């Protein structure tokens, strides 16, 4: 068995530098980047969460990274930033990065083994504000997305106790153009009443005209008018 010269090959397993705790605290030096996430650490209250503090062997994920997507370099084992990476170092299917090839071409050659998200292009189109309110004047030509939602039956009757927390849609008709706006029943009834009154007045005017014309004609055809005309002709 070969014996190493302690001068040429010294045993450094138990040797530690004084600045190693500083590197461990500030830069996570010597820690496994794939170590598990600490269950006791609260990013919103880091001072009073984990009892081990900076000496904890598990990972303390900062709050600024909690809503990020998964690091694409970490998925391949190539990320060099470790805990200081601005992306997540955890396998979370809900926060995987988007597949660039699928977004450009509409298909992916790695399906179904692809680790990245295949996002439907229709989901990237913003939702139509007017359609969400209840009516879109552009109809099928609208460039935004029309999402069909179930109308709230309580809101349609007049009041919904859940308000903004309701799972159903509450249509609004305030910003709809006047020409395309759905008229309430009161306005429709008022217009119908006015139209009926106008029709009745027109009928009365027509009847009065007809009656006056009949009276004029009957007066001209009466015998008294003929006698008067004859005496006048005789005198002449």
Q: Digits of tens for pLDDT over the chain (236 positions)?
A: 456 677 777 777 777 778 777 766 666 666 666 677 787 877 767 666 788 877 787 777 665 555 578 888 888 888 887 766 778 777 777 788 888 888 888 888 888 888 888 888 777 888 888 887 778 888 888 999 888 778 888 888 888 898 878 878 787 665 555 555 555 666 666 677 778 877 887 887 788 777 777 766 766 665 554 444 444 444 44
CA-to-CA distance for 197 and 179, rounded, in angstroms? 24
Tokens of residue 99, six digits: 């597949």
Give the chain's radius of gyration (CA, Å).
Answer: 44
Residue 64: HSE in the Cβ half-sphere, 13 Å Cα cutoff: 4
- Helix intervals (H) in the chain: 20-27, 72-75, 100-105, 129-133, 153-157, 185-220, 223-235
Backbone angles phi, psi at 98, to 5 degrees: -75, 145
Q: Are 90 and 37 in contact (CB under 8 A)?
A: yes
């Amino acid at each position: 068995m070969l014996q190493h010269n302690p001068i040429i090959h010294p045993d450094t397993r138990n040797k530690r530098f004084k600045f190693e705790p500083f590197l461990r605290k500030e830069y996570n030096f010597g820690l496994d980047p794939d170590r598990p996430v600490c269950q006791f650490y609260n990013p919103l209250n880091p001072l009073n969460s984990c009892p081990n503090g900076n000496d904890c062997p598990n990972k303390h994920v900062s709050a600024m990274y909690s809503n990020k997507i998964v690091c694409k370099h970490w998925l391949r084992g190539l990320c060099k930033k470790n805990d200081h990476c601005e992306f997540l170092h955890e396998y979370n299917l809900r926060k995987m990065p988007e597949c660039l090839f699928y977004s450009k071409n509409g298909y992916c050659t790695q399906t179904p083994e692809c680790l990245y998200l295949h996002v439907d292009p229709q989901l990237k189109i913003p939702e139509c504000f007017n359609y969400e309110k209840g009516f879109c004047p552009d109809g099928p030509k609208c460039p935004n997305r029309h999402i069909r939602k179930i109308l709230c039956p309580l809101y349609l009757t007049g009041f919904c106790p859940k308000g903004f927390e309701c799972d159903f849609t509450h249509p609004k008709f305030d910003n709809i153009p006047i020409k395309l706006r759905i008229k309430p029943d009161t306005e429709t009834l008022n217009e119908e009443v006015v139209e009926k009154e106008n029709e009745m007045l027109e009928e009365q005017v027509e009847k009065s005209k007809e009656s006056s014309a009949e009276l004029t004609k009957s007066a001209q055809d009466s015998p008294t008018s003929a006698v008067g005309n004859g005496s006048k002709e005789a005198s002449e």
